[in-house]
Each structure stands twice: as structure tokens, then as C-alpha cells.
Amino acid sequence: MKKPTTLKDIARETGVHVSTVSRALDMNGRSSLTEDVIQRVRDTALRMGYRPNRLASALRTSRTMTVGILIPDITNTVFPPIVRGMESVLEPLGYAAIIVNTDNLPEREHRLVEVLRERGVDGIIHAAALRDDPYIVEVAAQGTPVVTVNRSIEGSDIPGVVNDEAQGIRMMMQHLYDMGHRRIAHISGPESFSTGQARLRGFHDMAQELHLEIPPQAIVQSDQFNEAEGRRCTEILLARGWQFTAILCANDRLALGAIATLRAHGLRCPEDISITGFNDMPLLDLIPPGLTTIRIQQFLVGQVAARLLIQSITDPGAVPIETVLPVELIRRGSVAGARA
Amino acid sequence: MKKPTTLKDIARETGVHVSTVSRALDMNGRSSLTEDVIQRVRDTALRMGYRPNRLASALRTSRTMTVGILIPDITNTVFPPIVRGMESVLEPLGYAAIIVNTDNLPEREHRLVEVLRERGVDGIIHAAALRDDPYIVEVAAQGTPVVTVNRSIEGSDIPGVVNDEAQGIRMMMQHLYDMGHRRIAHISGPESFSTGQARLRGFHDMAQELHLEIPPQAIVQSDQFNEAEGRRCTEILLARGWQFTAILCANDRLALGAIATLRAHGLRCPEDISITGFNDMPLLDLIPPGLTTIRIQQFLVGQVAARLLIQSITDPGAVPIETVLPVELIRRGSVAGARA
DNA sequence: TTGAAAGCGCTAACAA
DNA sequence: TTGTTAGCGCTTTCAA
């Protein structure tokens, strides 16, 4: 239970004033101190096992060297690589991260942001932003640096990193088209997320470009990005009776649900119906028939977001509002040529 | 950029002393204050959007209401559910969590623990403990409450939650035996983790009980719990030429690697060789041929660990050293009857 | 180049 | 029941 060494202890030990110790231990700002004093102080600090008390220093400087990360659900396998990407830039810079799960619930998000603010985080990386998220906009307006990842907030000037949704959908549609598909259904993402929205728009735009007819029955909107919703939406699609040869799903988990439901109806993927996803989440390659999907650069997206946040903290102003990262089409087994 | 409301602001506004404000806002300890004052203070606090500064309060009380969580790698899908389990008990109690990834590297673990201590965490949940982990033992000895999850530290009195490894291996061996397997190989876990050790011992114990002969060639030790090691170890097993009908792998990822290597050698699972795993990680059920495995209660293990930590913080002494959670055998497609 | 002193926001004796 | 006071450990302005 021994109590930690403080600056005062080191001061007593070396016979200088605590402010001198503080200066000697300050790494960046050149301190105008004698080399000799600096050495003596640092040596004794090391010897006594000094560990700076960031709470105290934060109270003085209002810099905690801690940031908050808002995730919808860390259990969703797309997010861990993103988090590691963030950590890979934050940790070397001396930042620690408080990670919280919002479950996409606005009032839970609200509460958790309070938790972060009470702890004086220097900034917030928001991977769970809602398209309409007035609360976090307010937080940013009050001076807490905020950046969004994956999703963006509509009509706000909060910097964000996103994947090239439009291009991803475009490549996928082109691929399906090239494989002979003309009647393509779409299970779209929740309309409360910018990703769901962007992918839906991409779908319409590309359909028009390819001169595909997309009747209203071709599209079902999901309420969440998960397997259960994928199943529910596929049931609806099937019940509508419109004859489609492929379903372009707004993400991988919806696609997994779609495949399961198809199978339950005696339909095979890809022989009867082709299915596509989005994200290329981990382990996907091992799940038959191998989902054809759009790969986003999960680790990189995290890195870029973290860099943006650091920049917002140290040098606001010069931070780009939107950063778009390229995506890649991954062909696997879930797309086949359209039946005649 | 408006600066946050402090107790002093509320004091000025209500015309009482800041210590009175502090008392009025203190939720638990009944404060011997007039109902009227309490109401007035709380009302204005609410009106002014007061948010307690935990840094300042922590500096005074040395309670940050923040805990540290050490994970080997959040990208490993067994861990996110465990983390959610922890969060499910921590968050309602007002605790936030700083989560860090050790990658099983001792010196990285060391550095990250420093990061946590500098931020004054009230305790540490260690899901990345090494069998021999003198540093964290020292940290605990110096007064920081520590509990381990999944893995335990040898010869220490640090409280820990583990799964019933012995019973899991026992059930699995019995299952293989019942399916006619008599020549069972084992890809064991890293010897630096208590889990690897415990499962290996369980393997030997149960083999003896079943009167199975286990020649030295039957066992290969992995260096890490991942697919690459599973492949490497399987190659070794195959090269040795000992005829086995099943491989009991120390965890799911080793098993996934084993299946891949078998396939590369033209061997089918389960027709030629049966394979088993441990953990029942998410998505495993979707990967063919469906790995027969031992399910650990991921969410629960996290919950229990968090409860233990809170107890260690608030009421040390009465904390059980070891808590063992039951496991379950999950039969899927990777085990078939042994070939004659 | 170094020391003195004040204060970040809060809590907890101790007094009144 | 409420106010006064001191101080948690650190940084930073001002003096010397």
C-alpha cells in the first residue's frame, strides 16, 4: 500500500524546489536549467520510481491525454480492427482511450458522452454517429474536439472519415451487371445512419446509369445492420413476388441473414440468387459460399480518424471536414451468372 | 468554447458556500442539510448544466471511477463479448473503462499498466495475464486492486475468474472416446498461459482415466492461440507419421488452422480426421464443417470479473481467490465416428 | 537559473 | 445545519 512518489518527494531528496523538479522533468519545453540539475532530478526520479500524476497535471492544464471512443457495439467484428487502428496512433503519442458502446441508442450515447466529459477527455472519436445527432454537435460546439468515423453527421462541420460508399456500390452494381443481373433487389441500411443512406443513394444512381428498372418492391429498408434484420427483409422481398436474381445488401451481416433465409426457402446462393455484402468483416472468407463484398480499410480508417482527432486537439482550424478512403471489390462465391 | 459550470458558480448563484453545494450534490451520504437548501442547489445545478469534474474530485479522494482493462487483442472475437459483460456491470455503477491491448507482450503490458496507473485507475481487470507475471503481482501488492479473467497467475493471491478448463477437456475427450476415437492428438496452447497449461494437463489426466496411450508424438505445443500456429502444429503432427484419428485443439483458432492444413493435405474433416476446439467463439457455427467445441460463458465471465473487481475496490478481504465457471460441450460437424 | 506562491475544482475535517 | 480552511499533485507566472 505504499504511496506513490510525488514531485515534492523528489524535491526534498535533491534539495531543489518542486517547481524546479517540474521543469527538469518537462520533456518538451526547454527549461533553462543547468544540465547538472536536470540530470540529478531525472536520476532521482527514476530511482524513486516516480510516476507523474496525470490527474493533478490535468487539473492544472486541462489536458488529460485521454480520449473517448464511441462505438455502436464492440461485439460487431468490423469495429475491433478500427479500434486497433486508432490505438496504433494514439498510444505512441501518450493517449489512452476510454471505449464505450452506444448500441445506437441516442439516450445511451448521450449518457456515455457525459461520462467521457466528466473525465475530461481531450477529444472524442465517434464511430456511432447518427445522421441526425444534435447532441454531439452541441458538444463539439462547446469546444470538445470531435471527429466521426465510418458514419458522418448531416449538415455539421464535424470532421469525419468515411469510406467511399458510392464507389463501393458502383463497383458492386457493375459487377452484378457484368454477371448478367438485371433485376437486382436491395436491402438497405437503417435510414438513421449516413452509411445506409449513402449506399441506398448509390444504388439508385448506379441503377439509373445502367438503365436498370428498380420498382419500389425491389427495396426493403432494414432497421438495424444485423442478421435478424437481413432475414426479416429477405422474407419481405420474397413475399412481394417480384422476380429478382440478386440482392445487394447494405452490409455483410444483412447479407448473412439473407443467405440463411434463402436457404430456409429452398433457394441456393449463388445458383438461384446472388447475394452481396459490404465491409468484408473478419472471418467472412471462411463462411460459405464466400460473400462477395466491398472491403473497407478498417485499420486505416481508425488510424486516419485518430490522426484527425489529434490534429483537432493540437491544431484545430486546419482539419479537413471530410476524408474519403478508397474501397475494394472482393469477389467470392456468392455471385454467379444470372439465370436466363 | 464556454467554460464549464463549477461548484463555485453554483455557490455564487444560490448564495451558499461551495462546501454546502458539494454536500447538497453528494448523492449517497445523507448530508444533514435543509431540504430547502438541497432543492435549491440541485435545481440551479441542473439549470446551469453542472457536470462534476471527476479529475478534481479524484485528486481529492483518489477515486477516479475509472478502471483499466487489459486485453491481449480486441480483434480476437472471444474478447468483445467478455468486455461487454464487464461493461454491463461497470457502467451502471458509474465506472468507465480504459481498454488496452497487450498483444501478449510483457514489456508492452508493463508500459500499458503504467499508462493506467498514471491515470489513477481504481482497479485493473487483467484478461491477458501470463502464467508468470511478476510485474502485475507487484502492482497488486502496491495496492491497486487487480483481478484476472480467463487466465490466472501462478502462485499469486490475485483473485481470478476462470472457466472450468479441466471439465471442458474431460467432456471433449469423453465425447471423442464415445465416438470411437482412441488415437487422439493434441495441439496444446502456449505454455506461458494458464489456459494452455490447464488444458494440456486435462488432456493427460483424462487420457489416463480412459486408458488411452498418448505417445510423445501425439502432442505439439503452439506458441500462440491463432490459426497460423494451428497450421504449423498440424504440419508437424502430420510429418511425424503417428496415426491419429482426431486432434483435440486447445482453442478454436488453432482448430480452424488445423482444418485448413488437413484440407491442404487432401484430408477431410470429419470423414478422415475429427477436430475439436475450445471457446466457441462468435460466427464459429457458420464455418463448415461446424466445429465441435467447448462453450465458455463469455459475457458472464466478464460480468463476474467486473463484480469481483468492484468488490476488491470497495471491500477487499472478502474476495474469493478463484471463481470457476461451468462450460458446455457443443457438438457440431467436426467430429465423426473414428475410422476402423 | 531557480524559488515563491497561487490556484485548477473538489472534499472533508473542524468550527461555529 | 452551514461556513472556514486546508490540501490533493501539479504547472506557471512573477520575483529574485
Residue B323, domain CATH: 3.40.50.2300
Q: What is the pLDDT along chain B (340 residues), one digit of tens a residue?
A: 678 999 999 999 999 999 999 999 988 766 688 989 999 999 999 999 999 999 999 999 999 999 999 999 999 999 999 999 999 999 999 999 999 999 999 999 999 999 999 999 999 999 999 999 999 999 999 999 999 999 999 999 999 999 999 999 999 999 999 999 999 999 999 999 999 999 999 999 999 999 999 999 999 999 999 999 999 999 999 999 999 999 999 999 999 999 999 999 999 999 999 999 999 999 999 999 999 999 999 999 999 999 999 999 999 888 999 999 999 999 999 999 987 5
Assign A32 a pLDDT band (cuts: 50, 70, 90).
confident
A69 - beta bridge partners? A99, A125
B303 and B285, same structural domain?
no
Phi/psi-derived region of residue A217, left when phi > 0, alpha when psi is between -120 and 50, beta in every other case: alpha
Q: What is the mean pLDDT of residues A10-26?
A: 94
Residues of B with CB under 8 A from a CB of A: 1-2, 51-56, 58-59, 64, 66, 73-75, 77, 80-81, 83-84, 87, 91, 96-101, 112, 114-120, 142-143, 256, 282-283, 286-288
> Which residue in chain A is spatially nearest to B139 when comparing CA positions?
A1
B52 chain-A contacts, CB cut-off 8 A: 118
Which of chain A's residues 140-179 bind strand C, using a 7 Å CB cutoff? none
Number of neighbours of residue A4 by Cβ within 10 angstroms: 17
A158 and A203, same structural domain?
no
B283 and B170, same structural domain?
yes
pLDDT tens track for A328-337: 999 999 999 9
B286 and B172, same structural domain?
yes
pLDDT tens track for B221-246: 999 999 999 999 999 999 999 999 99
| Percentage of residues in chain A having pLDDT higher than 70 | 99
Q: What is the DSSP string of B130-177?
A: -SS-HHHHHHHHTT--EEEESS--TT----EEEE-HHHHHHHHHHHHH
Task: Give residue for cell 501488492.
Answer: B141
C-alpha cell at B268: 477431410
> Which residue in chain B is spatially nearest to A114 when comparing CA positions?
B51
Q: What is the mean pLDDT of residues A181-192?
A: 97
Q: What is the mean pLDDT of residues A140-169?
A: 96
The CA-based angle A145-A146-A151, given to 5 degrees, is 165
C-alpha cell at A139: 458538444
pLDDT, residue A326, reads 98
Number of neighbours of residue A61 by Cβ within 10 angstroms: 10
Determine, yes or no, domain membership for A336: no
Report the distance separating Cα A15 and Cα A67, nearest Å. 37
Closest nucleotide to residue A31 (Cα to C1')? C1
B289 and B189, same structural domain?
yes
C-alpha cell at A29: 519545453
A135 and A119, same structural domain?
yes
pLDDT, residue B317, reads 85
* Contact flag A286-B282 (C-beta cutoff 8 Å): no
What does the DSSP 8-state code read for residue B48? T
Q: Can you say whether the dihedral through the CA atoms of A38, A42, A45, A50 is positive or negative?
A: positive
Report the distance separating Cα A168 and Cα A327, nearest Å. 6
Query: B76-100 in b/e burial notation, b at 16+ Cβ within 10 A?
Result: bbbbbbbbbbbbebbbeeebbbbbb
| Distance to chain A for B214, nearest Cα, Å | 32
A121 and A169, same structural domain?
no
Tell whether omega for the bond before A270 is within 30 degrees of 0, i.e. cis: yes
**Domain hosting residue B47, numbered range:** 7-52
Determine, yes or no, domain membership for A340: no
What does the DSSP 8-state code read for residue A190? P
Assign A230 a pLDDT band (cuts: 50, 70, 90).
very high
* Contact flag A2-B99 (C-beta cutoff 8 Å): no
Cα A17 from chain centroid (whole Å): 47
Determine, yes or no, domain membership for A219: yes
B213 and B253, same structural domain?
yes
B80 chain-A contacts, CB cut-off 8 A: 74-75, 77, 80
Query: B248-276 in b/e burial notation, b at 16+ Cβ within 10 A?
Result: bbbbbbbbbbbbbbbeeeeeebbeebbbb
Cα A153 from chain centroid (whole Å): 13
C-alpha cell at B269: 474433416
pLDDT tens track for A92-116: 999 999 999 999 999 999 999 999 9
| Distance to chain A for B105, nearest Cα, Å | 15
pLDDT, residue B340, reads 59
Query: A264-302 in b/e burial notation, b at 16+ Cβ within 10 A?
Result: eeeeebbeebbbbbbbbbbebebbebbbbbbbbbbbbbb
How many structural domains comprise chain B?
A: 3
B227 and B267, same structural domain?
yes
Report the distance separating Cα B220 and Cα B189, nearest Å. 9
pLDDT, residue B32, reads 80
Determine, yes or no, domain membership for A27: yes
Contact A128, A109 (CB under 8 A): yes
A295 - beta bridge partners? A279, A328
B64 Cβ contacts chain D strand, under 7 Å: no
φ, ψ for residue B69 (rounded to 5)? Answer: -125, 120
Determine, yes or no, domain membership for B336: no
Assign A36 a pLDDT band (cuts: 50, 70, 90).
very high
Q: Are strands B96-101 and B123-126 parallel, antiparallel or unpaired?
A: unpaired
pLDDT tens track for A261-315: 999 999 999 999 999 999 999 999 999 999 999 999 999 999 999 999 999 999 9
The domain spanning residue B28 has which CATH number?
1.10.260
Name, in order, each residue with C-beta under 8 angstroms of B112's C-beta and a sequence gap of 6 or more.
A91, B70, B100, B102
A287 chain-B contacts, CB cut-off 8 A: 283, 286-287
Tell whether omega for the bond before B81 is within 30 degrees of 0, i.e. cis: no
Name, in order, each residue with C-beta under 8 angstroms of A129's C-beta and a sequence gap of 6 or more.
A70, A136, A148, A151, A152, A153, A160, A194
Determine, yes or no, domain membership for B229: yes
B290 Cβ contacts chain C strand, under 7 Å: no
Q: What is the mean pLDDT of residues A32-56?
A: 94
A317 and A271, same structural domain?
no
B171 and B268, same structural domain?
yes
pLDDT, residue B1, reads 67
Determine, yes or no, domain membership for A98: yes
Cα A300 from chain centroid (whole Å): 10
Report the distance separating Cα A203 and Cα A250, nearest Å. 10
pTM of the model: 0.96
pLDDT, residue B4, reads 92
Number of neighbours of residue A151 by Cβ within 10 angstroms: 24
Determine, yes or no, domain membership for B59: no
A31 and A119, same structural domain?
no
pLDDT: which is higher, A174 or A28: A174
pLDDT, residue A28, reads 76
B123 - beta bridge partners? B67
Contact B297, B325 (CB under 8 A): yes
